[in-house]
Amino acid sequence: LVMLEEQVSNNKWLALHDELTGLPNRRLFADRLGSAIERSRRENGRLALFMLDLNGFKAINDSLGHQAGDQVLCEMSNNLRESAHLFEGLARFGGDEFTMVACDLTLERPVTFFEDVIRRSVERPILVAGQPMIFTASLGVSVYPDDGQDASRLLHVADQRMYHLKHRSSSPRL
């Protein structure tokens, strides 16, 4: 019975978290984003949704293998986790995409403040196959209520803005 309870608990965790990084997955993030929007609506506040996609990640998998790619994703997750206390939610959305929500935007902490925090986290060097690499990311942002009133619209706008910036992407620097 104890083993069954542990298995059920483990299955619940896996249903809501990314197995590789341990971060919340898309499903749990959607729930947290919905709650954050509701809170912002009640408090007449603003929030920012950030969606980032690592630039040059495919080249890592293609040239160094998926194990190196997994290492990059884990290290990047750790870098982002260090500033996660500033965000309502942080998740691995899928592949090499991560999402974050910043609530209570203020004059002291505008969208640009959070963008800088994310960029500093992403651009910290990561050792890959013994080589230090610095990654960049394409970062799309949407703001509630300016860009949308619901999670679906905010995700769509952030995703579109991220892919619009993707064409200016750069590969990891050695």
Which residues, 6 or more positions from 5, have their beta carbon under 8 angstroms from its beta carbon? none
Catalytic residues: 96
| Long-range own/partner contacts, residues 38-42 (CB < 8 A, 24 or more apart) | 39/103, 40/103, 40/144, 40/145, 41/145
User: Cα(143)–Cα(161) distance, rounded to whole angstroms?
Assistant: 12
| 143 contacts 110 by C-beta, under 8 angstroms | no
| 154 contacts 48 by C-beta, under 8 angstroms | no
The length of the chain in residues reads: 174
List 132's β-bridge partners, or say none: 127
